[in-house]
Structure 1
Amino acid sequence: MSAAHENEAFGPSQALDDGTIAARTDAYFNRTREIVTRFGDRQVTYAMFIRRPVISAPRLMTAWLENVARARGIAITHEVMCPEGAWVGAGEPLVYVTGSFAALAPLETLLLQKLGPPCVAAHNAYQMALALPGVRFLAMEARHCAGFEMQEQMAYAASVGSRAAQREGALGFVGGANDATAGFFGDLPGLGTMPHALVGYAGSTLRAAEMFHETYPDSDLVVLVDYFGREITDALEVCRAFPDLAAAGRVAVRLDTHGGRFLEGLDPQSSYAALERNTPGTIRRYRSDTELRHLVGTGVSAAAVWRMREALNEAGFAKVRIIVSSGFSVEKCMVMADAHAPIDVVGTGSFIPDRWSETYATADIVSYDGQPLVKVGREFLLRKARDRAVPSAS
């Protein structure tokens, strides 16, 4: 596949025409273009950076830039200073973009939109995967995104952060929740089995499992068990109904207990006891309120995971896997790791940045017609510009 076709397949193709770009960019950039066109264009270089540590995830942005350059027949070069998946320090330039000032000025807003959020989300995904290196992750960001463009950015970010963690030995993200972003995870189709709505429709957890298995007999059986508040009872009922699948490791129970209640049979005292039985000392150290909630609180706590594992093992279903979801952020993953929670798979969209202000990328021009010049306070960008990567033509 040619580079041009690869970029068309990879990057978002929307907003390539002048009218759409002009409508979506900030007005002062459109005015800058008119002024520069009137008084004489110049060759400029932009430095793009983020004010916090991130994982480099520039490819959506650079693919879009290359598509725009090709559609307009203009010469733009970009220099990626930190390879995709590399750790980048706060304020360190990620990409230098060089070209006509008149051509680049209207693109700045859209370029920054496609750089900051993926880099921060990739960093979060990387941290989560490293916190639980023996656990597989499923990207479930779609329902939390403001449209497909954001979903594409977040799925791409999860794949970049995951590959960075995999290079350090983690299992990382193995797929996403729908087909549209499957290409980021090796072209696997969207993963997942049933929502709570299907359990309600079926009238029981077991009947939902039966319906699913009758429809998809070759698929592993992953069953939501919290709908009726009988996580352990319903999980065991399903396992007993499908003993061969359970013995073959083809049954999994998904815990998604909401934060308004404890897992079946648990309360604060029994939650503490579950951790003491399985991971002595974990609960005895100083803990913040948030850490305590993740360990022994309501919802999908470490104690809840341990109690489910105990119940499955006691009933002879040691090969039945446990899948967890519900608010699995970087912090929650770290707490689960500290509690040695027996998790097989995490379904999460919580790698999406919690503080959106952290995702703001910034661009500054650092040279005009090859002469270094930048606003006061950003001289560090000039120092970085002396050691450039090999440029890539757009």
Structure 2
Amino acid sequence: MRHDMFPLSPALWAATAAPPPPTSAIDASQRADVLVIGGGYAGLSTALHLAQRGIDVVVLEAREIGFGGSGRNGGQVIPGLKHDPDDLLRMYGPERGANLIQFAGATADLVFDLIARHDMDVPHVRQGWIQGAHTPRALAVAQQRAEQWRRQGVAARTLDSAEAASLLGTDRYLGGWLDPRAGAIQPLSYVRGLARAALAAGARLYTETPVDSLQRSGADWVATTSAGATVTATRVVMCTNAYGADLWPDLQPSIIDANTFQVATQPLSPAIRAGILPQGQVCSDTRNLLLYFRLDHQGRLLMGGRGPFREPRGPADWAHLERVMVKMYPQVAGVPYEFRWCGRVAITRDYLPHLHEPEPGLLIDIGCQGRGVGLQTAMGRAMAAYVATGDRAGLPVPVAPIQAFPLYGLRRLYVNAVVTWYRMRDGGV
């Protein structure tokens, strides 16, 4: 199932991004050492790091650069994973667990390093991420989370209700914790910056080029595009995430392709803006159906969260976020909303990124869990190293079989049921 019904152009990021590099659709069959399918963070990072190693790489993007989650997310660059360090040590053991913690903890570093190293035209700020706690139990979890990262050498700190209110500009949270490694970017400008860097390194990048089929041909792989042109390569790296997972059998049922919705106000007046996230942090909270919010580089207030599983039908599908925004920040009541947009995310069964190698020469990366900007940039670098050397030791997670969600055909029903249950448990804002 290809989610291409809702266009990218209504999103805030499409209206304020740096221009993309010039690209075109493929017009003739080609050969490469490596074919990368998907022009988002993971695919372009893979291509960049392969090209820097002198490996001939072609990238095929079905639509425009960043059409999927890379151009639709909230622009928060948050290191780590959904699982805390102690959980990862229990799940993977002391050696692999420690390696995964180190990998996940450094993902934001890589993003900001690439922006600087390649002189990308990407508005960005790095003042940290606040996780606001909405219940006493959630506050205890946030405090434990901060302590676990402190033991890993991170200057994380807990926040009481007064400090959280001062940093966030709202008194709706009991406290939380602050991770100083995090920050914010213009996400579409960043993925376009990755594309420019990959092209400059020697990668070949084609847009508006959907792949209709992917098949083995002796020792090679052959991708056939919708226009009929083919790309033949020894290795393939598939990085479509929630947009195009149906290209490989059984991959789509291994994720829940939920929709996340966002709204953005018009740029706030200096007086209003001064009282909202005054030090430039980004925030998401501890709700099961979490809220995430930030200011963009032009002073708009963004609010994101879950919406209908289906594609949107009109402004009413964003009304819940607009109500929440005014409850949290009454001072924005009456400020017009300038943008409403949405995008698909790939939720895996264990809330971890997945790597699959269903056949020799085909590597599949899927699953972001709200950490996609940094996680998938770093995953691209790790996958490039593996493709170049064949050494799996540098991969952050083990290569695993594809496993479908149970009763996948009924996912809309049970996702809606879970959403209703979570809303009841989360309570009001």
Q: 1 or 2, which has the higher strand percentage? A: 2
Higher relative contact order (CA 8 A, sep 6+): 2
Q: 1 or 2, which has the higher helix percentage? A: 1
Structure with higher Rg: it is 1
Q: Quick check: TM above 0.5?
A: no
- TM-score normalised by L of structure 2: 0.19
